[in-house]
Structure 1
């Protein structure tokens, strides 16, 4: 599939079939994350594959937004190895993990699978349920699987601002406050 077509057609899937994701497809999704660009190529991403019945049940206790997917990836970063910007010590691990998660979501879509980005989870519950050490920071949860037959994009899926609303050349002068828009 052409890339721009893929990113336009991909949507957040919130209804999954019971069909399991094949190991070969999971391996390709994980490879897409492995080769994602990261700051200074430090590769701080750490991904937990959640696919057993026991672990999926644990996940359901940490978020209502699991959507009964047969597989979920918890995307974290290792704060002990992530690059920190020298000017203000900003930890780029969350950015790196976000790039990794995005590439995995796009690979899943290209393979005919659905996914959605979940940021609404209880981090304390996640840490406890999956015995996550303090230096690993959970960023996103990606439920992944085959979309159910009755799954459709959200009505707002194709609603996008015109480029003039989000893209500026050489200066932000003239941009008003959100209330002025």
Structure 2
């Protein structure tokens, strides 16, 4: 499958089978995250693999969107290791963690695994449950596993705005923030 086909075919899996993810596939997913580009190559991502029954049970106290996956990846960044933009001191750690998460999602899809990006979680509960130090900032939870036999994309999965609504050349002239012309839904 070529990349664009993979990008279009992948979907957020919200129902998983009980089948465990093989170590080789997990290793490939983690390698995809490890080699992801990060700002100034500082590599501030820190990924906690949640696979024991105890660790997965804790996840249920942090988010209702665990989907009973047999594996989850908690993607954080180390704010003491992330690059800060000199102009405004903007921390690029969340961007780096997002890139890492995206690459891991796409690798999982290429291996026939289901996954979904979960951003709806209580950071305080995540910190407490997994005893995260203050310098680690949780960004995403990635439940991973084999899709259940009846797993399917959400009804709106294929709904995409026209490219003209989201891509502009040379200028944003005439585009009103928050309007349909700016690509708002």
TM over 0.5: yes
Structure 1 runs (4+) greater than 3 angstroms displaced? none
Deviation of the 1:180 alpha carbon: 5.6
The number of equivalent residue pairs is 181
SS in 2 for 1:137: strand
Q: TM-score, normalised by structure 1?
A: 0.98
SS in 2 for 1:143: strand
Q: Does residue 67 of structure 1 match 2:60?
A: no
Query: 1: distance between equivalents of 2:122 and 2:171?
Result: 39
SS in 2 for 1:87: coil
Superposition CA RMSD, Å: 0.8
Partner of 1:20: 20
Query: 2: distance between equivalents of 1:173 and 1:133?
Result: 45
Q: Structure 1 stretches of 5 or more lacking a match?
A: none
SS in 2 for 1:82: coil
Deviations 1:95-118 (A, max 9, x none): 000000000000000000000000
Partner of 2:108: 108
Deviations 1:64-115 (A, max 9, x none): 0000000000000000010000000000000000000000000000000000
Q: TM-score, normalised by structure 2?
A: 0.96
Deviation of the 1:179 alpha carbon: 4.2
Over 3 Å counting, the alpha-carbon distance change for 1:178 and 1:20 in structure 2 is: same
Q: Structure 2 stretches of 5 or more lacking a match?
A: none
Deviation of the 1:178 alpha carbon: 2.7
Deviation of the 1:177 alpha carbon: 3.7
Query: 1: distance between equivalents of 2:62 and 2:3?
Result: 34
Counterpart mapping for 1:22-171 below 5 A: 22-171=22-171
Over 3 Å counting, the alpha-carbon distance change for 1:139 and 1:180 in structure 2 is: closer
